[in-house]
Chain A
Amino acid sequence: MAQVKGKKAGFGAVLWDYLTTVDHKKIAIIYLVAGGFFFALGGIEAMLIRAQLAVPNNDFLSAGLFNEVITMHGTTMIFLAAMPLLFAFMNAVVPLQIGARDVAFPFLNSLGVWLFVFGGIFLNLSWFLGGAPDAGWTSYASLSIASPGHGIDFYAVGLQIAGAGTLISGINFVTTIITMRAPGMTYMRMPLFTWTTLVAAILIVFAFPPLTIGVFLLMFDRMFGSNFFIVEAGGNTIIWEHLFWIFGHPEVYVLILPAFGIFSEIFSTFSRKRLFGYSAMVFATVLIGFFGFMVWAHHMFTVGLGPTANAIFALATMAIAVPTGIKIFNWIATIWGGSIEFTTPMLYALAFIPSFVMGGVTGIMQAAAPADYQYHDSYFIVAHFHYVIVGGVVFALLAGLHFYWPIITGTMLSEKLGKIEMVIFFIGFHCTFLIQHWLGLWGMPRRVFTYLDGQGYNTANMISSIGAALMAIAVIILLINIIKTLVKNEKVGTDPWGDGRTLEWSLPIPTPYYNFANTPLIRGIDALALEKEEGDGTIPAAGPVEAIHMPNNSFIPFMISFGLFVAGFGALYFASGKPWAIDAVANLPEKPWALYVLIAGLAITFISMGVRSWKDDLGYYIPKEELEADLRELEARERGAK
């Protein structure tokens, strides 16, 4: 095994490196760790929900606390777990897949991750500072306007900070994929994960601003005395529902499209075949992204928009099944006749197809507006969206974690533990959510903290709770697997799965900080597989080795985000006890220090931004000699391995 260059750095140096890094590979690790932490939090909240609902008339959680727990479960899982974990894979893989040295805006990449981290912490601090938000993750204005205390304000400010980070990352990935592709990497040669990342990033750019505006309206109404949702003053709470779902529906495609991308890579790799119907897959991805913006009102069928609006949105919703169906058939055709290898990622991918199709079918059922009046606000809905989000997105996250683990850490997770984890998670998932379809049809409403004995809900709820416990066990096995692997620290070499097809698997592991010593030349789809079949298995270089320009590390993104975090507290407590604020906030004791905190926080942010714009940061060059020395060493290492 090769010696790792350099001395082992102290903890402080490593920490400082991560706080200031602009390297997409390290930012991926920050996303992974922070997203994993919030995933655990959201998971604990899920366990609390299922523990409360396991038996009738339970008083494990009080009604108010239950509302806080379901709100934070949804908000945490969507904004702070699923999306950041997907960003972790995008950061770790996409620049390598397109042959780039880094993303287009490394500084903004760092800013995006720290805004997300601070926004997430801000949101979760609500637990310790007077109560979490309790109006559901959708936070409908009619509920959230009346919610006492600062819970909803934590939701609003926290999402505003984290959302800004997401928008920045979205812009970054759109630009990266448009401008940073290596020579020969045409759009129609891009791996599917890159394609789905591009479409998801475009969706982020278009979907997050409506949320920003919606949350601003909520903040202004609660904290600054405006009247957007105050019906007595002419306000209208339906505006929130529209703005939220114009964001919220594309948001679920932001989650599922990269998941589709991860699965496409896995199917093709472990079937040892080209992806079937590549161009149809690309077309379907774009079409889903397009339709994603035309269906938001299917969340609002029962609001009373009228039969015409409902019919249009019902049809548009059903139309989405077409491109999604194209994808499902193409995945099946990819496996068909392939030389299949049942690795952990592949098992997840195979389990994903039937699980996700079930979620899709119930989606079509709800798209029929008249029928939706029956399903609305029942456990049927809960079952549906967990089938698509867990059966689609979470399966993809777990599959992607196993699949891309070597690229991220240079080691390989245990396949044995991985398969045990997969089987338990799969059983637990269906055990939890399948029965909830019936619970919903039997009439159990969602968002209730308990139910009476003798209504026929007992057994089904118990089964559901047992399933949830199984999923928790599977996640604990995954954690054990991760710890064991990291402790063992057995490094793997290039292309650890042996069947890598795309550019990221052609790189040495650990990947050099500049990624590609030589700019690669791409000759076709599945660049590495092509070279394995037709060439010598190495990617040709687009030109001679040349000095590489690199960006400098910077602490400024951390400070900008920290400033907003501080300012968030100022803005939030500034409203306490003010006569113009909503009753729920105006009743709180006044906080005279809040204004100074607000000013201090904004000062930190703006001074940091000022330093950034006043001091030119031109980066540095890696000299040609260093690159050539690295290449020689790599060659020697590979000869030694053979």
Chain B
Amino acid sequence: MKDREEILVLEDVWKVYRMGAVDVMALRGINLRITKGEFVVVLGPSGCGKTTLLNVIGGIDNPTKGKIIFNGRDVSRLDETGMTYHRRKNIGYIFQFFNLIPTLTARENVMLAAELVDNPRGVDEVLDIVGLLDRASHFPSELSGGEQQRVAIARALVKNPPMILADEPTGSLDFKTGIKILKVMKEINLKEKITFILVTHNSIIAEIADKVVYLKDGEVERVVLNEEPLSPDELEW
């Protein structure tokens, strides 16, 4: 891969939390390079630092030490406002528990994100991509778990971000629905060339990734490139 294709570079990233009298080293010198359009799966057991890694990439938290270069710009020392605008312009989020606003319809939940950027994608267009256009006027309580997660994907997509971060997106879904969601994500990744970083503890999901980052005790244990990633349809767990 050439440097110009890199969307994200992490150089010696550390994150240390102070918990009472103890310093907890959540990330210990992470070095990582992610290229544009890659589907990356970060894999590791609970407490290995997966979410912390996602937080520092997504601009929710600043690293204690090290550099995070996003599209050639150092985002590791941004202030509160800077981090908010980084999230607004560059990042789409997908959560384990969907986190839709219950008082807004599917369309309105997507619109809420669309209103954040100057040139959003069409709300109906992204709902169509995730296959939910016909359910757009339903409230979250009227949608199944899988449908809610698809709305969440549409919400992430509508801002047209170069990168989408997904934290255990299938964690609260059954197997079949989980596969469907992964399929939607993978299709978007392939068609729209949007970089995905998916955090999970489910090692099976790693099969669909272009790159798998194994985390252990806050360190990158190894990075494996998948020459021939599987289609989500081929997964089983």
A binds B: no
Task: Give the interface of A toward B (CB within 8 A).
Answer: none
Task: Give the interface of B toward A (CB within 8 A).
Answer: none
